[in-house]
């Protein structure tokens, strides 16, 4: 059989190392049976022999020899007079096995077969990739940065498969160059235009969870359980852990001697501060631990509405809230309650956070006041104008404006 055009195709197919030999032969046979059915009207009476290594293929058409004039199915039968033209010693009732040569197919038919083969093999390869990474969702992979772009980074795995790390899934301070090694978790796998797209993430809480598993043997072995992980990528994270073995300190095990275990993770996450917290089912205790290092005076829990009012000394409020509100936001997510912080003083709890005046007072002015410990309206008003001038870099005119705005809040 002249298969010159197809030998090149077989050579290409052998490069698909993820496809096993049996599957490849099955695909080839399926494609040729389809082509034969189109040309001859049937395919079940053909034998197809594929030799992938040699790039060779043989096709035999099988038909039953019947007496002349007794032909009922010209697709599966052949008259005796026609059969003996092929081989003279045939007899009625025997099966004629006749080779089909590629020369019998037109150029367009051969081209269509080749294109169909290439398409089927590529589709199968894509489905294998999709399935492989679908099963690896949630796993950490180590890849090589192939091409860093503004909106995403193209990463190659150990088999040179292309993976994508979008900008939205990068830690804000991440910076990679071509050739750098990169660690990330497989976030999801999608099919776009019939192509598998593997999305990586370094901001997902799952990434931190997997890093802890890799660094803390007790987690990997199941002696310590990670209950929850919340993050502000690159800034702060909170992790609750629990051990059912009283002999194991879950927090100490995660942190390690002199922070040896957690430091490697912190470096990987671009100096993200990680608070490891001992889990408890008691909401009030959990809130106290989540708001650490702030010290809490008392808590009111509204279980029905999932809200908590937390009271603490004025000097603890800024610690509880954290930079940009990150600490209290993460604590709320970790516990599953909306947490509101109040100053525990003899005064009425009608003080107002300075941030609520950012539509009347510029943010940089508010920041200057927060630096000296004045993060509420009343804490600013408690100081004289001269004290505010001496302790901040603000001009008298600016301070006058601030005092006017804050005093107006309480005039009623």
Round to whole Å and give the CA distance between 90 and 86. Answer: 9
| Residue 333 CB coordination number (10 Å) | 18
CATH of 280-349, one of 3.30.300.20, 3.30.70.1400, 2.60.40.10, 2.40.50.100: 3.30.300.20
- What is the DSSP code string of 154-192? EEE-TT--EEEEEGGGS-TT----TT-EEEEEEEEEEEE
The domain defined by 4-131 folds into N Utilization Substance Protein A; Chain:P; domain 4 (3.30.1480)
Q: Could you name the CATH architecture of 136-201?
A: Beta Barrel (2.40)
So what's the pLDDT on residue 55?
A: 61
Q: Check residue 1 and give its pLDDT.
A: 38
Q: What is the pLDDT of residues 309-335, one digit of tens each?
A: 998 888 788 888 887 788 999 999 999
Place of tokens 């610690």: 319
Q: What is the pLDDT of residues 123-181, one digit of tens each?
A: 888 888 999 999 999 999 999 999 999 999 999 999 889 999 999 999 999 999 999 99
User: Angle, nearest 10°, between helix axes 260-268 and 205-215?
Assistant: 140
Separation of alpha carbons 99 and 405, rounded Å: 97
**In the structure, what pLDDT confidence band is assigned to residue 32 with cuts at 50, 70 and 90?**
confident
- What does the mean pLDDT of the chain come to? 87
The token duo for 99 is: 């080779």
Cα(176)–Cα(180) distance, integer angstroms: 6
Rounded Cα distance, 397 and 375, in Å: 20
In the chain, what percentage of residues exceed pLDDT 70? 92
CA dist., res. 144 & res. 364, Å (int): 42
- Over 90: is that where the pLDDT of 14 sits? no
Q: What's the pLDDT band for 3 if we cut at 50, 70, 90?
A: very low
How is residue 259 annotated by DSSP?
G
* Equal CATH topology for 4-131 and 136-201: no
Pairing of strands 181-192, 56-66: unpaired
pLDDT surpassing 50 at residue 302: yes
Helices within 106-159 (DSSP H only): 107-134
User: For the segment 212-263, what is each residue's pLDDT rounded down to a tens digit?
Assistant: 999 999 999 999 999 999 999 999 999 999 998 889 999 999 999 988 999 9
φ, ψ at 286 (rounded to 5°): -65, -40
Residue 296 to residue 320: CA distance in whole angstroms:
9
Domain limits, the chain: 4-131, 136-201, 280-349, 354-410
């Amino acid at each position: 059989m002249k298969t010159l055009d197809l030998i090149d195709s077989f050579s290409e197919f052998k490069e698909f190392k993820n496809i096993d030999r049996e599957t490849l032969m099955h695909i080839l046979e399926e494609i040729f049976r389809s082509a034969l059915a189109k040309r001859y009207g049937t395919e079940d009476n053909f034998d197809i022999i594929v030799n992938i290594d040699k790039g060779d293929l043989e096709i035999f058409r099988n038909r039953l020899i019947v007496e002349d004039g007794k032909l009922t199915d010209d697709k599966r039968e052949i008259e005796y007079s026609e059969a003996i033209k092929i081989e003279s010693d045939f007899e009625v009732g025997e099966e004629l096995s006749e080779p089909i040569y590629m020369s019998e197919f037109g150029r367009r038919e051969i081209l269509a077969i080749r294109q169909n083969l290439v398409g089927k093999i590529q589709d199968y390869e894509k489905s294998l990739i999709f399935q492989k990474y679908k099963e690896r969702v949630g796993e950490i992979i180590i890849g090589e940065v192939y091409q860093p772009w503004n909106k995403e980074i193209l990463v190659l795995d150990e088999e040179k498969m292309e993976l994508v790390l979008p900008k939205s899934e990068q830690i804000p301070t991440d910076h990679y160059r071509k050739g750098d090694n990169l660690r990330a978790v497989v976030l999801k796998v999608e099919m776009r235009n019939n192509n598998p797209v593997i999305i990586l993430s370094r901001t997902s809480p799952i990434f931190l969870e997997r890093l802890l598993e890799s660094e803390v043997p007790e987690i990997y072995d199941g002696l310590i359980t990670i209950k929850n992980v919340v993050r502000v990528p690159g800034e702060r994270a909170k992790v609750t852990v629990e051990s059912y073995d009283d002999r194991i300190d879950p927090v100490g095990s995660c942190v390690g001697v002199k922070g040896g275990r957690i430091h490697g993770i912190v470096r990987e996450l671009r100096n993200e501060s990680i608070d490891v917290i001992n889990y408890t089912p008691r909401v009030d205790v959990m809130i106290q631990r989540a708001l650490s290092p702030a010290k809490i005076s008392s808590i009111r829990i509204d279980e029905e509405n999932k809200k908590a009012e937390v009271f603490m000394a004025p000097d603890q409020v800024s610690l509880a809230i954290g930079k940009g509100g990150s600490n209290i936001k993460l604590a709320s997510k970790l516990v599953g309650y909306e947490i509101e912080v109040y100053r525990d003083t003899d005064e009425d709890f009608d003080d107002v956070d300075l941030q609520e005046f950012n539509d009347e007072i510029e943010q940089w002015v508010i920041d200057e006041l927060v630096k000296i410990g004045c993060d509420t309206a009343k804490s600013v008003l408690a100081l004289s104008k001269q004290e505010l001038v001496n302790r901040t870099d603000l001009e008298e005119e600016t301070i006058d404006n601030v005092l006017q705005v804050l005093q107006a809040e309480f005039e009623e």
